Structure 1
Amino acid sequence: MSPRSYVAFVSFLLLFGHLSLNAKETGQSSPLLVGEKREGELQAKQVVTFALPAAAGDFVRGALAGSGVRLKLLDRERRDVRCLVDGQGPNFPFMFVVGDAGPYALQIVAEDGGKFALTVDAIIAAKDQVAPPTVLESPRLRQLQQKLSAGGTTDSFWKELEQEGTPLVETGEVVPPLASNEALVTFLYRGAKRNVRLFGAPSGDHDNLKRLGDSDVWYGSYRVPSAARIDYRLAPDVPELPGSEWERRRAILATAQRDPLNPLAFPADNIDVYAGSSVVELPDAPKAPWLKRRDDVPAGKTERHRFESKILGNTRDIYLYRSASYDPQATGNGLAVFFDGDVYLQEVGIDAILDNLLAAGEIRPTAAILISNPSPQSRSSELPCNPKFAQFIAEEVMPWAKEHGLQADRQHTVVAGASYGGLAAAYLGLQHPELFGSVYSQSGSFWWAPNALKAPPTKRPAEWLTREYVTAQVGDVNYFLEAGSFESNDRIGSILTTTKHLRDVLEAKGRSVQFREFPGGHGYFYWRYNLPQGLSDILRPNGDDGSSQK
């Protein structure tokens, strides 16, 4: 027994000296030390009390086994503090913290009689009640942590990273060990004062980085598939605002910037550190031969048109793309209708992708209708399951494109988009199967429902379109759905989960569905790598309509 515990025990005996006399009448009374086991059998109404050598602030943990026996906690005046075990079961753990009215005693009361076994497995003093030290997953950070504990600095660590670049990508000596197809990616920032948030974290949210002790190192480690590509931004010292949750969340945009120690960016030609995002490509990321324009590949033709809609009452850009070999009179042409068309053209490079795929014989001769948005506000009102927008596509855009020589059989016509655009594509597939034989949704926002963003989280409506599919008559349309493994965050609704829900409903309705989960997140950086495979699945040149299950 430690000197501290001994003093507490002696104090208990002085205060509870009369207990031993009572114990002769009702049962044994003696100190119960850590690791000891006291057991016996009591008659009905019999009581036994044990002194507990614990001081104020101590944490006590133990267990009582036995049916029909209760365990009470008594203070120094023998007053009931609380009932620890109510006698309703054969084995009950208990725990408590000793208050100022200690030292305490444990009293077993047998209402109907029975056997008992009492143990105290831990008494932890207040000064020892500290969390265990964090074990860092990254071996490089563990080395730095040891160096800092020995009085060192972070200078050499940052000098090494200036040469190597960030984030850290590690596969060996990670704690706990990685799976065979994983890598540990550690994002780093130097010298923030209050906080650092990771915009586009693999968790699917904007996570807070942790600070390594009181050093200038802020870090966040993630286990990701070794085939992943990641784009991200770092936001140091994000201000805390008095506004709504949405306003406070968006404050990250005030400081979000590219990683200063990562030379790779998307788009690659950005000069402004606050524009674009940083990029990391893991060792097993698949090759991407279709993205860059090649000099030996004939380029298609893209025309920009200003289109005025009477149905929607606004004007927008629509781009018409025709592959180099496109003959409007030929049979077997393909036609792709994309929402957010200007972004697919400028950031994704859809025209170069289509040129490369066609030159390699991966797709049939294809034209594309790339529909832009009049404004960000109109995008948010038009793309999420808007009947007037569907009418605009069916009654204005498609007839107009046909007049310009862009047409194809419905089985070779696909409506496509990403995020809200992916939601809109699936909505058009439901509303106008006479026009579209395929739907291609990249990370569709299937969590959406009317007023979903304005409702409280506990009463938020969800997955409106999937519910519509449950009860609707579904046309003969093939569905190609994609979602990223990083899109599992459920703050509003997991895109990964809700995409799987739609897949399940479509399969239950007997529709042909391809679903692909890719190692990535939400954004055009990810979608551009998946787009060539999706287009080649849908616009096959050999007469296959791409409807086979995968």
Structure 2
Amino acid sequence: MLSRNQQLPFGNSIRRVTLYSLKEHGEANDIVVYCSDGQSVEAFAKRFFHTIGAESFWFVGVDCSTEHRNAEYVIGRDGPIFERHESFFINDVMDWATKVIGTQPSRERSAVFGYSCGGAFAASMGIRHPDLFGSIFAFSIAGRPITNFDAPLESALSNIAFYFRAGSREPKAMRSYMKRLEKWLRSADVQIDFKTLSGGHEFAMWSAGLNESIELAYEIDA
């Protein structure tokens, strides 16, 4: 597995972004998965890159803030902090990754992944930017980022697929919240695949769920 990292300017500081792949240069049909909690993405990528068809995938891990992780990931906690990180993620990070990979991926071949509060961020990116991401892998959504379930949704969301995964041993309140979010999204004819997997709030469940979800989203063989 190859990795390349870059310290990108982020306000008055810098933020590490790391790219993982099995090859040096991108090709037209490659798929890019943009990930929150970049410090953990190497472990997810290592497990995924053992699957058949993995050579067509790129993982982009964006390190989280050590001070404002929840505020950056969960919409409603702190508007300016969330929006600054959102802009960094969809502009600076995606521009850098496109230059390094060497190809411009389409919306259908761009995905976003996150777990826990990072799952809240992934879901928000799918809802707020339906023009950028075709597949949303949002696991164990924490922080209750969306509460206005009566708000109308954009019709453009009908072209996106959301993959929700939760652990059987996670709090019932978390799974209940995700069910409410699922119902709200389905009101706009959004494609959703929601499964409860054996496990808790833990890497093993998220990793297995990510591999399975990617295989479903892009029709590759395990």
Contact 1:466 1:501 in 2 (8 A): no
- Measure the CA separation in 1 of the matches of 2:97 and 2:13: 18
Q: Which amino acid aligns with 2:9?
A: E
Counterpart of 1:509?
188
Q: How far 1:400 sits from its partner (Å)? A: 1.7
Corresponding position: 1:471 with 2:152: yes
Aligned residue for 1:417, secondary structure, equals strand
- Measure the CA separation in 1 of the matches of 2:202 and 2:155: 29
Structure 1 unaligned blocks of 5 or more? 1-299, 449-463, 543-550
- Measure the CA separation in 1 of the matches of 2:215 and 2:36: 19
Structure 1 residues 413, 509: closer, same or farther in 2, change over 3 A? same
Q: How far 1:470 sits from its partner (Å)? A: 3.5
Q: How far 1:538 sits from its partner (Å)? A: 2.2
1:422-456 alpha-carbon deviations (Å, 9 max, x no partner): 000011111111111111011111x52xxxxxxxx
Identity in percent = 21
Q: TM-score, normalised by structure 2?
A: 0.86
User: Where do residues 87-106 of structure 1 align in structure 2 (5 Å cutoff)?
Assistant: none
Structure 1 residues 506, 441: closer, same or farther in 2, change over 3 A? same
- Measure the CA separation in 2 of the matches of 1:418 and 1:497: 16
1:248-304 alpha-carbon deviations (Å, 9 max, x no partner): xxxxxxxxxxxxxxxxxxxxxxxxxxxxxxxxxxxxxxxxxxxxxxxxxxxx31112
Counterpart of 1:523?
202
Q: Which amino acid aligns with 1:350?
A: F
- Measure the CA separation in 2 of the matches of 1:412 and 1:424: 19
Contact 1:430 1:469 in 2 (8 A): no
Q: 2:61 aligns with which of 366, 370, 374?
A: 370
Q: How far 1:364 sits from its partner (Å)? A: 6.3
- Measure the CA separation in 1 of the matches of 2:97 and 2:22: 15
Contact 2:153 2:188 in 1 (8 A): no
Q: Which amino acid aligns with 2:167?
A: G
- Measure the CA separation in 2 of the matches of 1:504 and 1:468: 9
From the two aligned structures, give the one with the greater helix fraction.
Answer: 2
4+ residue segments displaced more than 4 Å? none
Q: Which amino acid aligns with 1:521?
A: G
1:5-34 alpha-carbon deviations (Å, 9 max, x no partner): xxxxxxxxxxxxxxxxxxxxxxxxxxxxxx
Q: What is the total number of aligned residue pairs between the two structures?
A: 212
Aligned residue for 2:88, secondary structure, equals helix
Q: Which amino acid aligns with 2:124?
A: Y
Corresponding position: 1:381 with 2:68: no
1:104-149 alpha-carbon deviations (Å, 9 max, x no partner): xxxxxxxxxxxxxxxxxxxxxxxxxxxxxxxxxxxxxxxxxxxxxx
Q: Which of structures 1 and 2 has the bigger CA Rg? A: 1
Structure 1 residues 467, 323: closer, same or farther in 2, change over 3 A? farther
User: Where do residues 112-123 of structure 1 align in structure 2 (5 Å cutoff)?
Assistant: none
Counterpart of 1:424?
121
Aligned residue for 1:471, secondary structure, equals coil
Aligned residue for 1:394, secondary structure, equals helix
Q: Which amino acid aligns with 2:41?
A: Y
Contact 1:323 1:354 in 2 (8 A): no
Q: TM-score, normalised by structure 1?
A: 0.37
- Measure the CA separation in 2 of the matches of 1:517 and 1:421: 18
Contact 2:149 2:181 in 1 (8 A): no
- Measure the CA separation in 1 of the matches of 2:216 and 2:108: 13
Contact 2:31 2:109 in 1 (8 A): yes
Structure ranking higher on relative contact order (CA contacts 8 Å, 6+ apart): 2
Q: How far 1:472 sits from its partner (Å)? A: 3.1
Q: How far 1:482 sits from its partner (Å)? A: 0.6
Contact 1:315 1:374 in 2 (8 A): no
